[in-house]
Amino acid sequence: MSDQLTKRETDYAQWYNDLVLKADLAEHSSVRGCMVIKPHGFAIWEKMQGALDGMFKATGHVNAYFPLFIPKSFLAKEASHVEGFAKECAVVTHYRLKSDDVHGVVVDPEAKLEEELIVRPTSETIIWNTYRGWIKSYRDLPLLINQWANVVRWEMRTRLFLRTAEFLWQEGHTAHATQKEAEEEARRMLEVYAKFAEEWMAMPVIKGVKTASERFAGAVDTYCIEALMQDGKALQAGTSHFLGQNFARAFDVLFTNKDNQQEHVWATSWGVSTRLMGALIMTHSDDHGLVLPPKLAPVQVAVVPIAKNGEQLEAINGYVQPLLDALRAKGITVKYDNDDKKKPGWKFAEYEFKGYPVRIAVGPRDMENGTVEVARRDTLEKQVMQAAGLADKVHHLLEAIQDNLYRKALTMREENMHVVDSYAEFKDRIDQGGFFLAHWDGTAETEERVKNETKATIRCIPLAGDKKPGNCMVTGRPSAQRVIFARAY
């Protein structure tokens, strides 16, 4: 399979598309801009979803579900919100079709909706309209709710997982009695996302706050995690928004505080999407195919028997069974592939291409010697291991693979972090890709100039790191700290 994969250095974008399709992660659907997530891809997403859902619940959040359709008047209530999403909205105008002798099936003009409905691009408006009925007193706060859902943002230029008209995500929407509590919530969820990215995805991220022009529509502050892909482009991997009282005012969500006075609640929203699948692919995969961190691999270990006949296969089945039991007892997910319709070589190529972290081969000689052959996907190294105590050895190996993938990605990012002080140097080096730490004067005009002239944007103002003031690389005016510029997906 890997010989059908475009090399990364030849055409990175084509390599990505080839990999998504050939590794059976997703495919284009008959609806333009939408995708079909195939079982292997969806199994990875389910692992992500399960891990994140546990982290949300550990921080006190509960799940609910809100309507797919949003009355158009709701979107208009928060001015910056509608301005930010207006160009991406799909609108439902009628509720019935009818047959037509000339044109076939057409919209029934008599079935026009009294109020047009927006297919949700995000759910702040429908949720805050609902919260008005749920929140009356400080005793009802905080309200910590998440939903797993699909959303639609009408994209003209799409790429599987990275940018599609419909995608899957989670969106948290919380209400608080004080500004301090809401700001703490927004930062807390940023930390949850960063922990998930680094500990589960093995993807190092930089935590920061967006500039005013890059904020979520309707937010006071947008926090983000930014990752660097192998081609030197940045990917926004998750965002958490402090919404102030904007949506509470727009939807008149008031509560009686402890002093028996009425005030508007404070809000946050935060989300990650199937875009994380794209991030996972581009952070770790190689010219041999998909590479998955063990924590997110649907199957962590594939076991392949090598037998010349049915008698040998039966013997290997018996030899392997205690090993499979021991691995599963350790919580390791295992697939034993003794399907005799496919040759071992085909299976090896398949599991390597689809990113299974560990592959174990067992043949007649292994039975004689009490051994197995173990191959690890991250380095493609093979070694012979004693079958005795194999479960513990594989458990440690999976931990080593998870750690190695993170360290490798971190090394790549650190090697592509560039400190620049002059705009001439920045323009000269931006084509090589990477994160560029540079001073910025804080104005939207300078930010827009850099974007127009170099196609690079300010990915974030880092929350950690060098806070020394300086002078803007473009204008020379004072700058509070360095920010991160990069070209991005």
Render pLDDT for 311-332 as a digit per residue (tens, 0 to 9): 999 999 999 999 999 999 999 9
pLDDT of the residue at 79 = 80
pLDDT of the residue at 96 = 95
Residue 100: band (very low, low, confident or very high) from pLDDT cuts 50, 70, 90: confident
- Over 90: is that where the pLDDT of 101 sits? no
Query: Check: CATH 3.40.50.1450 for 418-486?
Result: no
pLDDT of the residue at 2 = 67
Rounded Cα distance between 435 and 440, Å, is: 14
Q: In what order do the strands lie in the sheet containing 112-119?
A: 69-71, 112-119, 90-94
What's the pLDDT tens digit per position in 250-297? 999 999 999 999 999 999 999 999 999 999 999 999 999 999 999 999
Furthest-apart CA atoms within the chain: distance in Å = 82
State mean pLDDT over 146-156. Answer: 94
- Over 90: is that where the pLDDT of 382 sits? yes
Residue 374: band (very low, low, confident or very high) from pLDDT cuts 50, 70, 90: very high
Same fold: 2-85+120-284 with 418-486? no
Per-domain boundaries in the chain? 2-85+120-284, 299-399, 418-486
Tell me the pTM.
Answer: 0.96
Instruction: Please provide the average confidence, as pLDDT, over all residues in the chain.
Output: 97
State mean pLDDT over 384-390. Answer: 98
Rounded Cα distance between 386 and 371, Å, is: 4
- For 299-399, CATH gives 3.40.50.800
Rounded Cα distance between 49 and 55, Å, is: 10
* Residue 155 Cα to chain centre, angstroms: 18
State mean pLDDT over 183-193. Answer: 98
What's the pLDDT tens digit per position in 58-69? 999 999 999 999
- Over 70: is that where the pLDDT of 1 sits? no
What's the pLDDT tens digit per position in 453-472? 999 999 999 999 889 999 99
Level-2 CATH architecture, domain 2-85+120-284:
2-Layer Sandwich (3.30)
DSSP letters spanning 31-92: STT-EEEPHHHHHHHHHHHHHHHHHHHHTT-EE----SEEEHHHHTTSHHHHHHHGGG-EEE
Q: In what order do the strands lie in the sheet containing 457-462?
A: 62-63, 143-152, 166-176, 266-273, 234-244, 221-228, 206-209, 457-462, 482-486, 435-439, 417-419
- Over 80: is that where the pLDDT of 156 sits? no
- Over 90: is that where the pLDDT of 104 sits? no
